[in-house]
Structure 1
Amino acid sequence: MNQKSLLIVESPTKVKTIQQHLGKEYDVISCVGHVKDLPKNDLGIDLENDFKIKLAVLPDKKDFIAELRKKSKTADRVLVATDPDREGEAIASHLATEIPEEKLDRVQFTEITKAGINEGINNVRDINHDLVAAQTARRVIDRLVGYKVSPVLWATLQSNMNFVSTNLSAGRVQSAAVKMIVDQDRLRAKFISTNYFDLKADLRKGDSKENFNATLLKVDGLKVASSNDFDSKTGELKNKDVLLLTESQSDELVKELKSGNWIVTDIKKKPRTSNPKPPFTTSTLQQEASRKLRSSARQTMSIAQKLYENGFITYMRTDSTHLSDEAISGSRKVIKSLYGDEFLPENPKQYTTKVRNAQEAHEAIRPAHRVFRTVEDVKAELGDEAGKLYDLIWKRTVASQMKSAKLEQTSITIKNQKAEFRANGQMILFPGYMKVYVEGRDNPDKDLANKERILPALEISERLNCITLEPNSHSTKPPARFTEASLVKALEENGIGRPSTFASILGTIVRRGYVDRKNGKLSPTYLGLAVTQLLENHFTNLVSKEFTVKMEDGLDEVSRGELDAIPFMKNFYKGG
């Protein structure tokens, strides 16, 4: 009698689906994440012996390890199918130490579908030891940071602040993220708000019943100050060659212009092409779900995990915008059947990934299967919240393969005595991808209407009727507080952390009481300010964006096999 092959995945949710596809020849079990880590009450790192680590089986995984050893002895093959990323590779390496070497195979599934599972099973590979080395280096550095800083936080703050109910901690990524939020608040505190005025005219062509508006642009040839003329960080006027209108000046100008004629002096039209956005990466999915679904990064990743494990989407931790031939073919079939040939480009669109770490980049997040499942399928199986996120992924993927939108922008200059006004309009000539998806908006049809500002057909020297003319008061606004979406974007742009860790970073800094999350806005707490101030004074590197970026880049180089982990860790430990 042939023995079954043993297959190990991370998540228990995948077990049933994979077991159904593979049948009785396989025994599928789940390790539920990491099985080994550095010991809890000991450094676990030999600083004198090339940072050799001492791994301990996690207390709640002892039974699983015993079961793994037992099943591995009798299994024909043992396939380790942990997630295809840095952490998943480390888990595979830790599991491998408990499995007979001659039976061990490493496989990966980028989607939990019959085709995806078969592809994984048929493409056995070795464990990627560069990825493992990078994960080990990250864990060593994070442990050393914790051991070095935590006692100082305790001695300086925790023992003197009675309201602190959680254990204080610092980390090279979370501390840099908190500092970004603190720095934003410091800018807000220093910001000086300035009031400025312009004029808004409601104009009408001849006996038309439709009004359009125009805004004061120049007086006596001098540009009137607008929001772009102020420093967004300080609120101060940065462009001195503009006219800063006061309330009394704007009132006086209204009186002067009331008796004047409104004459069209210039009409400019120019075409504009709007291209679709690439399909989702982990980071852009978190940003869009935050904007459109008001979903936190943690909620988004939790729902995306369920969609992946149940075979609805591809792997959700990725820096890549690449789509496979299967995904492109699936998208083009959808476009042809739902929207027609006029929306289908002659050639498929390919997007280049702006990621240096190619080994950790997979396909973009997109619907799984050759024929994409419907939103109704997802809602029926996983509920409304999963359906909404899948809908977002489905639309973004399909839109990425549609034709660009064609627009026409119109700019009309209208003069009245010494004042020059500007009216701007936009027409959508062909909606293209906007028919399906517009970034940052819920309803594409409604947004198409919002994007159109129709101006009447006018001619040079034509005289217009002024229906209303009134001063418009404005005040400069301080830099906006971070939202989860804007912080995720800033973390990615600054190279702090990796998209797969953004959700846990945000969760940690809120849970530890360093940051408040109210109405979608992130602001530092008194504790967050105190911890940041302490780190700035005594552990400058920990809150330095440049240091954190240098560390992440180094870890990426280790994962690609371009840098040896041991000199990298030595350099860090010695303060390099």
Structure 2
Amino acid sequence: MENTFCLFYFIFRAKFSEITFQSIQRALQTLGHPDERQNSAVEVRSELDLRIGAAFTRFQTLRLKKIFPETLADTILSYGSCQFPTLGFVIERFKAIENFVSEQFWKLKVTHIRDDIETEFTCNGSGCSTKEACEALFDVCQQNPEAAITKVTTKPKSKWRPQPLDTVELEKLGSRKLRMNVKEVMKVAEKLYTNGFISYPRTRDKHISLPSLNLRPWWRCRHQTQTGADLRPLCLSGDPTLVRARNTDKAIPIHPPSFTNSLAGAEKAVYELVVRHFLACLSDDARGSETVVDMAMAGEG
């Protein structure tokens, strides 16, 4: 007699992107079965990254060794999908600085003070190309010092909130705003992630899903931050259409899962950068108005 045994394997997956008690507890309470399609997508993406990286690493190493044989004799130039866009920004900025040619120019400036409010008027255009032309215009204005307001134009202005933070954008902001090199920014970010202060810093995702984020601790601690943002409306309702983005690798954008004010130095700088960007993403677009006042003096505006 042949005995047949049927074994059933129940496999569950806990999904979390930051190392915090709340996140891990929530993941364990909402266990789900692995998605074969997502698993296949990850395998395809890993295979593409490996093949593209290997091909471009070999190509650029052999190519550049022929151009710089002494400098790159024993060097391998690896290719990374996140590092190369950042390198492009660095080179673009370097070329802009190298090709910049400074030019002298002069311009007239009129200052009006009333009720301790100072208003500055400047000439239309970028200025005078020669000092003599600017001095001649100044003499004309001195001979006719009376000015008249000719037009007042007010129009609405808005500034879009930023997209959620991914790895490349974190590197760019860290370099531009914190004056830190890319390697240092990522080293600090990974340390913050290990300590549970920010989510996983290596991601290409730009989509925020509010139901997956716990904003209540942020609202409770908002008075301890310098931002003063009121997250109560988001905590109570939530807006699932905050950000629409194409890039998604099923890992949520870089964000702060917990609040802390105990950091210092580079860690504090990078953490505050992530916090401010996160709060800006959750805020409404900045809306205001711009008023332009045209003034004429001695026939010049």
SS of the residue 2:109 aligns to: strand
Match of 1:293 in 2: 178
What residue ranges of structure 1 are gaps of 5+ in the alignment? 1-101, 218-223, 227-243, 421-576
Q: Aligned AA for 2:21? A: K
Mark the CA change 1:344 to 1:275 in structure 2 (over 3 Å): closer, same or farther.
Answer: farther
Match of 1:392 in 2: 273
Match of 2:196 in 1: 311
Mark the CA change 1:195 to 1:272 in structure 2 (over 3 Å): closer, same or farther.
Answer: same
Match of 1:505 in 2: none
Match of 2:131 in 1: 247
1:139 to 50, 58, 80: 50
Mark the CA change 1:188 to 1:335 in structure 2 (over 3 Å): closer, same or farther.
Answer: closer
Q: Aligned AA for 2:260? A: T
2:77 to 151, 169, 175: 169
Mark the CA change 1:107 to 1:132 in structure 2 (over 3 Å): closer, same or farther.
Answer: farther
- For the Cα contact (< 8 Å) 1:344–1:402, is it kept in 2? no
1:282 positional shift: 2.7
Q: Deviations over 1:432-465 (max 9, x none)?
A: xxxxxxxxxxxxxxxxxxxxxxxxxxxxxxxxxx
Mapped to 2, the partners of 1:314 and 1:334 lie a distance apart of: 18
Q: Aligned AA for 1:169? A: L
1:117 and 2:24 aligned: yes
Q: Aligned AA for 2:191? A: K
Mapped to 1, the partners of 2:138 and 2:116 lie a distance apart of: 23
1:302 positional shift: 2.0
- Please provide the CA RMSD for this pair: 4.0
1:353 and 2:244 aligned: yes
- For the Cα contact (< 8 Å) 1:332–1:398, is it kept in 2? no
- For the Cα contact (< 8 Å) 2:193–2:199, is it kept in 1? yes
Mapped to 2, the partners of 1:199 and 1:310 lie a distance apart of: 55
1:272 positional shift: 3.8
1:107 positional shift: 4.9
1:364 to 242, 246, 253: 253
1:259 positional shift: 1.4
Structure with the higher fraction of residues in strand conformation: 1
- For the Cα contact (< 8 Å) 2:218–2:231, is it kept in 1? no
- For the Cα contact (< 8 Å) 2:221–2:259, is it kept in 1? no
Mapped to 2, the partners of 1:321 and 1:353 lie a distance apart of: 6
1:254 positional shift: 0.7
Mapped to 2, the partners of 1:374 and 1:303 lie a distance apart of: 16
Mapped to 2, the partners of 1:304 and 1:134 lie a distance apart of: 24
Mark the CA change 1:284 to 1:323 in structure 2 (over 3 Å): closer, same or farther.
Answer: farther
Mapped to 2, the partners of 1:340 and 1:179 lie a distance apart of: 35
Mapped to 2, the partners of 1:289 and 1:179 lie a distance apart of: 16
Match of 2:5 in 1: none
Q: How does 1:73-152 map to 2 (within 5 A)?
A: 107-121=14-28, 122-125=31-34, 128-148=39-59, 150-152=61-63
SS of the residue 2:108 aligns to: strand
Match of 1:202 in 2: 111
1:182 positional shift: 5.6
1:324 to 190, 193, 210: 210
Mapped to 2, the partners of 1:341 and 1:182 lie a distance apart of: 40
Match of 2:299 in 1: 418
1:328 positional shift: 3.6
Q: Aligned AA for 1:327? A: N
Q: Aligned AA for 1:138? A: D
- For the Cα contact (< 8 Å) 1:320–1:361, is it kept in 2? no
User: How many residues are matched?
Assistant: 281
Q: How does 1:369-448 map to 2 (within 5 A)?
A: 372-376=258-262, 379=263, 384-402=265-283, 407-420=288-301
1:264 positional shift: 2.0
What residue ranges of structure 2 are gaps of 5+ in the alignment? 1-8
- For the Cα contact (< 8 Å) 2:57–2:76, is it kept in 1? no
Mark the CA change 1:323 to 1:330 in structure 2 (over 3 Å): closer, same or farther.
Answer: farther
SS of the residue 1:264 aligns to: strand
Mapped to 2, the partners of 1:180 and 1:275 lie a distance apart of: 22
Q: Deviations over 1:147-197 (max 9, x none)?
A: 455445445531xx3x55751536486778767766666666666655444
Q: How does 1:542-561 map to 2 (within 5 A)?
A: none
Q: Deviations over 1:66-98 (max 9, x none)?
A: xxxxxxxxxxxxxxxxxxxxxxxxxxxxxxxxx
SS of the residue 1:198 aligns to: coil
Q: How does 1:464-483 map to 2 (within 5 A)?
A: none
Residue identity over aligned pairs, in percent, reads 18
Mark the CA change 1:270 to 1:170 in structure 2 (over 3 Å): closer, same or farther.
Answer: same
When the two structures are superposed, what TM-score results if normalisation uses the length of structure 2?
0.72
Q: Deviations over 1:106-155 (max 9, x none)?
A: 65431212343344453342571332233223323332344455445445
Mapped to 2, the partners of 1:387 and 1:172 lie a distance apart of: 28
Q: How does 1:219-298 map to 2 (within 5 A)?
A: 224-225=125-126, 245-260=129-144, 261-274=146-159, 276-298=161-183
When the two structures are superposed, what TM-score results if normalisation uses the length of structure 1?
0.41
1:103 positional shift: 9.7
Match of 1:85 in 2: none
